[in-house]
Amino acid sequence: MMTPEPRLVPPCGDRLVSLLVATEAAAELKAYAARLPSIQLSQRSMCDLELLATGAFSPLEGFMGRKDHQRVLDEMRLASANGHLFPIPVTLPVEARSELHLDADVALRTPTNDLLAILTVEEIYAWDRDEVADKVFASRDLRHPLVVEMLRWGPLNLTGRLQVLRLPARYDFRDLRLDPTAVRARLVAAGHSNVVAFQTRNPLHRVHEELTKRATQTVDGTLLLHPSVGMTRPGDVDHYTRVRTYRALAERYYEPDRIVLSLLPLAMRMAGPREAVWHALIRRNYGANHFVVGRDHASPGVDSTGKPFYGPYDAQELLERHQRELGVAMVPFQELVYLPDEDRYAEVGRIPATTRTAAISGTQVRDEYLNPGRSLPTWFTRPETAEILAETYPPRHRQGVCVWFTGLSGAGKSTTAEVLTSLLLEHGRQVTVLDGDVVRTHLSKGLGFGKEDRDTNILRIGFVASEIVRHGGVAVCAAISPYRATRNEVRQLVGADRFVEVFVNTPLEECERRDAKGMYARARRGEITGWTGIDDPYEAPLHPEITLDTVEHTPEANARWILEHLQAQGFIRSPSVSAT
Ligand code: ADP
Ligand code: ADP
């Protein structure tokens, strides 16, 4: 007996919008675009363009014009498309420019100037940041990632007919990057009319697996595992790592005909309730008629007073009110927790208040497990996920760190750095030494000692150090680095949490007395000018991690002290741990 082909929910507005022009027309348009003024799209606008072009935002047919925008702000509806529900503004904000006028064609390009689309300008209008902040995000607090990002958006929105020549190039996980049409085809092949979509921007742990499996069972359908990989909350685990966890789970822990994994290049707004409704609408376009909303959906965290921007279940309440009209039924979940005594998962509202529960927060995952190199427990996450996370976030003693010596010439930077290097090697770390004098013979050959050249030299050292640190090495830098602002710039470049500034606080008289290279004497005689400490300033650090006294303490004692500091920070394995 043949089973009937499953019938998926139709897209919003009954047809998928497609803005991609036919290949034949594209060549001609491309030549034409070469003569047009260009706009370089932001990462966010590129994601929006891609979802507009493939119909993921159906029935929206382009960046919103003034009327659509206003009604979306006020009523969560478009002015066009029979007032279709649409909770989030999708606009193209730009700076004012004379070439941008009504009826002009403009080329929309990537940040590296590759052509993506041609826009025929039909409307240019000013928008109000505070109004958008109030109505969409319900907050003007700058801790909200979008409220702060909007400060950098141009003051005018552009709209008009869009002809998309090609989608932004994506080379990673090609097999998982499916547009709405392709996802629908996979869902039909999976064989179930009911589809429940799951949105995520985090690695999937056991509670999420449980959540998705329960939801799939409830609707007796297919799970559309649909992670956002465009832009998520700043600080999230990168999507390369996340997708590797999704793939491992989808392959090993779900029934093959009950799951479709696809990546959604969505630039999230972290708008909580409004975002949940938007997520559901988007998933309907991909063929889902059910959508999971748990606790704190699309949450931007807490504001500057420490208060959550949205209540944990506000998103469920808003979607509840609109699900019928949207044609996407919500599958709500309360917070799911683990019950260690019963070895099962349960929603918090369905267990007695006295039941023992266990949970590990994202911060705890890093601070208490990955950084010290502890394995995540299997009740919390699958071993495959634990292993992928451990690769991305190695324990602290395998993460990079920069030790930055600063001080006058002859203070003892190089001498101490040399001892420290031996000790670091003894403790199993890979070290690159960037010594000011040595760097000036290659990387900074030809640079002088004027302020600008000194800064260039330091920033070069800082750049190299930051790359070394990013790849898990120890960068030991020893350069006078006389200017506070430049050292702070390097600190930012490397990452403040892995930058150890060591102030070699040797008094000028002592440096001059040592005068290993005879330079102070020459500077005093006026044979050289611009010598730090004599006729060029040295700005001592205000808050160095470590200050060394080289008059009272030997280079070895000082180096061992720095080593202890690194040990306390976890960058060096302490002896007790190395035994395990
Ligand atoms: P988002 O920021 O879009 O909410 P997440 O990856 O944080 O992305 O969450 C994905 C979904 O899982 C959301 O619907 C969220 O509410 C739900 N969720 C996450 N953790 C839990 C949990 N412990 N209990 C219940 N629901 C959860
Ligand atoms: P810098 O790299 O800061 O210019 P160097 O390390 O090249 O300084 O030179 C410091 C000089 O001071 C060396 O000749 C070193 O032997 C001498 N010195 C004497 N005591 C100390 C000490 N406690 N720490 C570091 N150097 C010292």
The residue written with tokens 């002290």 in the block is 561
The residue written with tokens 């702070």 in the block is 488
The pLDDT of 383-394, averaged and rounded, is 95
Neighbours of 167 (CB within 10 A): 19
Give the per-residue pLDDT at 5.
86
The pLDDT of 493-510, averaged and rounded, is 96
Nearest ligand atom owner, CA of 196: 1
Give the per-residue pLDDT at 580.
41
pLDDT value at 531 more than 60? yes
**242 ligand 1 Cβ < 6 A:** no
Instruction: Say how far apart CA 491 and CA 404 lie, in whole Å.
Output: 9
Instruction: Say how far apart CA 221 and CA 193 lie, in whole Å.
Output: 7
pLDDT value at 2 more than 70? no
C-alpha distance from residue 71 to each of 28, 59, 128 (Å): 37, 15, 14
pLDDT value at 510 more than 80? yes
Q: How far is the CA of 318 from the centre of ligand 1 (A)?
A: 16
Give the per-residue pLDDT at 241.
97
Contact 538, 408 (CB under 8 A): yes
Question: Which amino acid residue places its CA nearest to atom 27 of ligand 2?
Answer: 412
Contact 103, 121 (CB under 8 A): yes
**296 ligand 1 Cβ < 6 A:** yes
Can you read off the two tokens belonging to residue 343? 């070895």
Per mean pLDDT, which range of 92-101, 269-278, 404-413, 553-562 is the poorest? 92-101
**199 ligand 1 Cβ < 6 A:** yes
Question: Which amino acid residue places its CA nearest to atom 16 of ligand 1?
Answer: 294
Q: Residue 516 — pLDDT band, cuts 50, 70, 90?
A: confident
Give the per-residue pLDDT at 39.
97
Q: What is the mean pLDDT of the chain?
A: 95
Give the per-residue pLDDT at 197.
98
Per mean pLDDT, which range of 193-202, 412-421, 567-576 is the poorest? 567-576
**Ligand 1, atom nearest to 293 Cα:** 14
Nearest ligand atom owner, CA of 197: 1
pLDDT digits (tens, 9 = 90+) for 183-209: 999 999 999 999 999 999 999 999 999
Question: Which amino acid residue places its CA nearest to atom 10 of ligand 1?
Answer: 200
Instruction: Say how far apart CA 264 and CA 199 lie, in whole Å.
Output: 9
Nearest ligand atom owner, CA of 201: 1
The pLDDT of 368-378, averaged and rounded, is 93
Q: How far is the CA of 213 from the centre of ligand 1 (A)?
A: 14
The pLDDT of 501-530, averaged and rounded, is 95
Give the per-residue pLDDT at 574.
74
Which positions are annotated as active-site residues? 481
Q: Residue 95 — pLDDT band, cuts 50, 70, 90?
A: very high
Instruction: Say how far apart CA 81 and CA 85 lie, in whole Å.
Output: 9
Instruction: Say how far apart CA 362 and CA 203 lie, in whole Å.
Output: 10
**42 ligand 1 Cβ < 6 A:** no
The pLDDT of 228-252, averaged and rounded, is 96
Give the per-residue pLDDT at 267.
98
> Exposed (0-12), middle (13-18) or buried (19+): which is 493, by Cβ within 10 Å?
middle
Per-residue b or e along 402-427, where b marks 16 or more CB atoms closer than 10 Å to that residue's CB: bbbbbbbbbbbbbbbbebbbebbeeb
**295 ligand 1 Cβ < 6 A:** yes
Contact 194, 288 (CB under 8 A): no
**239 ligand 1 Cβ < 6 A:** no
**Ligand 2, atom nearest to 551 Cα:** 23
Ligand 2 test: best mutation among 414, 415, 517, most atoms within 8 Å of CB? 415
pLDDT value at 1 more than 80? no
* The 3-state secondary structure of 170-237, one letter per residue: CCCCHHHCCCHHHHHHHHHHHCCCCEEEEEECCCCCHHHHHHHHHHHHHHCCEEEEEEECCECCCCCC
**Ligand 1, atom nearest to 279 Cα:** 3
Binding-site residues, ligand 2, Cβ < 6 A: 407, 409-416, 478, 504, 514, 516, 550, 553-555
Can you read off the two tokens belonging to residue 523? 């500077």
Question: Which amino acid residue places its CA nearest to atom 17 of ligand 1?
Answer: 294
The residue written with tokens 């022009």 in the block is 21
Nearest ligand atom owner, CA of 477: 2
pLDDT value at 327 more than 80? yes
pLDDT digits (tens, 9 = 90+) for 142-151: 999 999 999 9
**Ligand 1, atom nearest to 275 Cα:** 3
